[in-house]
């Protein structure tokens, strides 16, 4: 089987896709010159297909977008996030990783992307640079890349997030939350109720309609834990809940819990941290 593989420079997922492609047969690795322009790049890749039996890319946002364009251009079916190909049966990941589906992939050449983190990365290989076709459609292309400004610790990247909910009681009472966050070198978060009440800005909101965090430790103080909130906090490695209600839904998701009044517990923890550090 001959495989045409699209590779992005310095991209681990592309190297994982290379491992997969090698398991299928002979691999020709290609990339495209110039700024990213999905329709034009897809035209270049489709043009280089020749008599390849399969066109493969990493299952990244870019890989999936490109192969979707290639699929439309060649009028062939495309399977995304594939973990195995056996004859014409693909195994692919669906529903955010909760389901493996086997499906028959017809079409010639076979178009597929490789599910991220399902293969070990291969050693880099020489990559052939494809030129854009003369009539390439570059109406959608990358003009400029802007990196996010980094003022303070962002909620999304913070290693520790200390968050307050309705139980905190007022915007002034958030002082104890802020204090603990500062001592732990983390960011302050809050629940939707708190932003609705105007105690904190929406940028502090953790949850499905706010920021999804990926901290090592999430401290949820006086947060009952609506599903919307948990959806934003589930990326945290450990969740510590401080809540006076032993029936609060958050306890179902918490790794550790303290049942009690946060207005006593949080200052006590801060005081203890100070004491330990000063001694």
Shortest distance (Å) from residue 162 CB to another protein: 22
Single out the segment in contact with another protein by CB under 8 A; choices: 115-123, 132-140, 194-202, 214-222: 194-202
Q: Does 97 bind another protein (CB under 8 A)?
A: yes
Is the CB of 95 or the CB of 135 nearer to another protein? 95
Told to check if 208 binds another protein by CB under 8 A, we report yes
Tokens of 43: 């035209």
Q: Of 20, 19, 30, 28, whose CA–CA distance to 92 is shortest?
A: 20
State the nearest-atom distance from the C-beta of 198 to another protein, in Å: 11
Select the residue interacting with another protein from 59, 186, 189, 210 (CB under 8 A): 210
Using rule CB under 8 A, residue 29 touches another protein: no
Closest C-alpha to 61, from 11, 22, 21 = 11
- Residues 55, 70 contacting (CB under 8 angstroms): yes
Asked if 202 touches another protein (CB under 8 A), the answer is yes
252 binds another protein per the rule CB under 8 A: yes
Q: 113 with 17: CB under 8 angstroms?
A: yes
- Rounded to a whole number of angstroms, the minimum distance from the CB of residue 211 to another protein is 10
Sequence-distant (≥ 6) Cβ neighbours of residue 127 within 8 angstroms: 7, 9, 29, 30, 31
Query: Can you tell me which of 125, 128, 209, 274 binds another protein, judged by CB under 8 A?
Result: 209
Q: Which long-range contacts (CB under 8 A, 24 or more apart) does 270-278 make?
A: 270/176, 270/179, 270/180, 270/183, 273/180, 273/183, 273/184, 274/183
Q: Which of 21, 61, 22, 29 is nearest to 45 (CA)?
A: 29
143 in contact with another protein (CB under 8 A) = no
Q: Is 171 in the site for another protein (CB under 8 A)?
A: no
- Please provide residue 270's backbone torsions phi and psi, each rounded to the nearest 5 degrees: -60, -45
Q: Is 77 in the site for another protein (CB under 8 A)?
A: no
Residue at token pair 């052939």: 128
Q: Is 166 in the site for another protein (CB under 8 A)?
A: yes
Among the listed ranges 66-74, 128-136, 220-228, 261-269, the one in contact with another protein (CB under 8 A) is 220-228
Question: Judged by CB, which is closer to another protein: 44, or 90?
Answer: 90
In 214-263, beta strands by DSSP E: 217-221, 238-243, 256-259
Residue with tokens 């014409």: 88
Q: Which two tokens stand for residue 263?
A: 């207005």
Shortest Cβ 197–another protein spacing (Å): 8
Residue 102 touches another protein, criterion: CB under 8 A = no
196 near another protein, rule: CB under 8 A: yes
Chain residues binding another protein by CB under 8 A are 95-99, 166, 192-193, 195-196, 202, 208-210, 212, 224-228, 230-231, 249, 252
């Amino acid at each position: 089987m001959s495989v045409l593989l699209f590779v992005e420079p310095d991209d681990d997922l592309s190297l994982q896709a290379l491992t997969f492609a090698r398991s299928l047969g002979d691999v020709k690795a290609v990339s495209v010159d110039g700024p990213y322009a999905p329709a034009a790049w897809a035209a270049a890749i489709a043009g280089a297909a020749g008599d390849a039996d399969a066109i493969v890319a990493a299952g990244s946002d870019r890989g999936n977008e490109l192969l979707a364009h290639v699929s439309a251009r060649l009028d062939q079916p495309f399977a995304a996030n594939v973990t195995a190909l056996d004859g014409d049966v693909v195994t692919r990941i669906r529903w955010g990783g909760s389901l493996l589906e086997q499906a028959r992939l017809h079409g010639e050449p076979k178009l597929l992307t490789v599910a991220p983190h399902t293969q070990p990365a291969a050693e880099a290989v020489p990559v052939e640079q494809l030129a854009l076709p003369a009539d390439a459609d570059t109406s959608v292309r990358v003009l400029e890349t802007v990196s996010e400004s980094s003022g303070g610790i962002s909620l999304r990247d913070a290693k520790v997030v200390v968050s307050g909910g309705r139980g905190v009681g007022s915007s002034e009472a958030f002082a104890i939350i802020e204090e603990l966050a500062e001592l732990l070198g983390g960011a302050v978060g809050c629940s939707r109720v708190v932003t609705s009440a105007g105690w904190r800005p929406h940028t502090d909101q953790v949850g499905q309609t706010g920021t999804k965090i990926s901290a090592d430790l999430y401290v949820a103080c006086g947060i009952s834990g609506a599903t919307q909130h948990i959806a934003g906090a589930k990326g945290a490695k450990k969740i510590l809940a401080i809540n006076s209600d032993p029936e609060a839904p958050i306890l179902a998701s918490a790794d550790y819990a303290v049942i009690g009044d946060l207005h006593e517990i949080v200052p006590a923890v801060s005081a203890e941290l100070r004491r330990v550090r000063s001694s």
